[in-house]
Structures are given as C-alpha cells and as structure tokens.
Amino acid sequence: MDRRGFMATGLAAGAAAVSAAATSAQGMQLVEGSSNAAKFKLKYAPSFGQFKQSAGNDLIDQIKFMSDQGFRAMFDNGLMRKPKNVQEKIAQELDKRGMDLGPFVLYADFGKKTFVTRDKGVRDMLIKRMKEGVECCQRVNAKWALVVPGAYDTRLEWDYQTANCIENLKYCGEVFQEAGRIIVIEPLNWWTNHPGLFLTKIPQAYQICKAVANPSVKIVNDIYHQQITEGNLIPNIDMAWDEIAAFHIGDNPGRKEPTTGEINYKNIFKHLHKKGYNGVLCTEHGRSRPGKEGEMRMIQAYRECDNF
C-alpha cells in the first residue's frame, strides 16, 4: 500500500472510531443522564429490577428513572406479594408521573388443574382470589389483573375442559365486572417454557373470551410466547383484536429485548400504533448484556423500534 492509500485508510478508521465513541457516549447518556424528555409513542412498561443498576434498589427511584427515560407505563408481576403500604406508594408515584400500571399476576399456578375442573372447592378458591385481586386493583388504581388458567387434565376430554374453563371464568369475570376492572388470561408456550398448560394459543383464548361474553375477561397477548407457539403474529393480533387488552414483549429466541431475535418488533409496534392501541406493552424479558450497558441497550432497542 502506498503512503496516500495508507493515510486514507487511517483517516477512515479514525473517523469510524470517533463515530462509534460518540454513539456509545450518546447511548450511555440515556441511562446515566437525569432525564430523557422524549416520551415513547407506545406505552412500553418496564418492571422493577430492569434498571436497578442505573436507578438503585429503591422502587420509587426506579419508577422515576423509567419516567425520565420516556416510559409511560410500568408493570410488576409480584405486586400482590408486596405490603399494602408499598403498593400505595407505588400507585402514588405512578399517578404523579402520569404512568399506567400494567397487569399484575393475580393467579398463575402452573402445576394445578384449576380452571379446567368442575370442582366446587376450586371454584370457591378462585372467586376468593378474584376478590383479593379486585381489592389490590382498587388500592393501586390498576385496570387489569393477570390470570393463567393452569394445567390441563390428561384424563378429561379437551372440550369438557374448555367448557369448564369458560364456566369458571364467568364466575371470576362477574367479580371483576362489578368492580369495573378486567381479567386478562394469558396463553403460554409449551415448547420452551411451560409444558402442560391448558391455554396456549391466541385463537383458543379468543374462543374462550367470546364464550364467556364478559367485557371484564380479555386476553394478554405475549408476543414472545406466541412466536414460539403459532407465529403469524400480526394476523392473529387483527383476528383477536376486540378481545385483546394488553401485550407482553420479548424477542425469540432468548427472551431478551427487541432486536436480539427474529421478531420484527418495529413493524409490530407500528401496526399497533396505527390501530390506535393505547394500552400497555409489558417488557417481560431479560437483557442481552449485563450491568448498566445492558440497561442502556434495552432503552436503545425500544428507541429503535419506536422510531416508525
């Protein structure tokens, strides 16, 4: 290589290094800076712990950090296990910052046959749990609570199990309807995470919700799970649209932030925005990188996918 070619190559490499450093610094500012005023177009909802390296262990500080980074919602699967005074503090901070609270887990016993049975004791237990869930919803001003219908019964015809699930959800739905709140049922995949569960697909959940015929019983569409179970994500969203109340997010394979797998989240988010979706999208996934760098990358991934 002659001297002129060497110099040109060196200058190009130096420019690339400067550009990369600037990009890295800009991205790190998203995490370490005090505020990022640009709000996301959709209500992506992080959970406690996803930004604790940047915000610290205090739950209220984590909410403040989420809001400062442009997030308009958050969720907490373990909300019902927290002390009531902590729940109230969480609700107060969310209200102060104009953030929505996504569905918390009300009932999800993966190992038991519950909704698929006609057992009166089980039904009484479910109704009791629903009443406890309504109390929590009212305390934290939540619209939704999440229910997983449990395991399927290997000794009972599938259609009978479906009928039993519908009947049990009718009872549960009545409790929530009286309170003006919503149960969201979640289909989960068999192949990677939850073998043996009764509810696995969006069309199945749609059929059940139509049969229950209660506006307080809807679906949470977990995009990660449905990519594994059935794919065809956007058409299934459209087909079940009137029964979907919330979404869960995670890329596949790996269940990490968007852009790490095969799901085109930018197109999905654009589609939801075009349809006028104003609910939450819970970021129920891990991070592809550890520490503050991983938290920065998660925020950047949502910025990239929200840029439509």
Active site residues: 186, 284
Q: Hey, what's the torsion of the CAs at 222, 225, 231, 233, to 10 degrees? A: 10
169 forms beta bridges with: none
User: What is the DSSP code (8-state) at residue 8?
Assistant: H
- Among residues 227, 224, 229, 221, the alpha carbon closest in space to that of 200 is found at 229
- Cα angle value 177/272/269 (rounded, 5°): 125
Residue type, 155: R
Tracing tokens 């990188």 back to the chain, one arrives at 289
For 127-152, give one letter per residue: b (16+ CB within 10 A) or e.
eebbeebbebbeebebbbbbbbbbbb
Give the separation between CA 300 and CA 294, rounded to whole angstroms.
10
Helical segments of the chain, H only: 3-32, 52-55, 59-68, 84-96, 120-140, 158-179, 202-212, 223-229, 233-239, 265-274, 291-306
Give the separation between CA 117 and CA 200, rounded to whole angstroms.
17
- Among residues 34, 87, 83, 80, the alpha carbon closest in space to that of 60 is found at 87
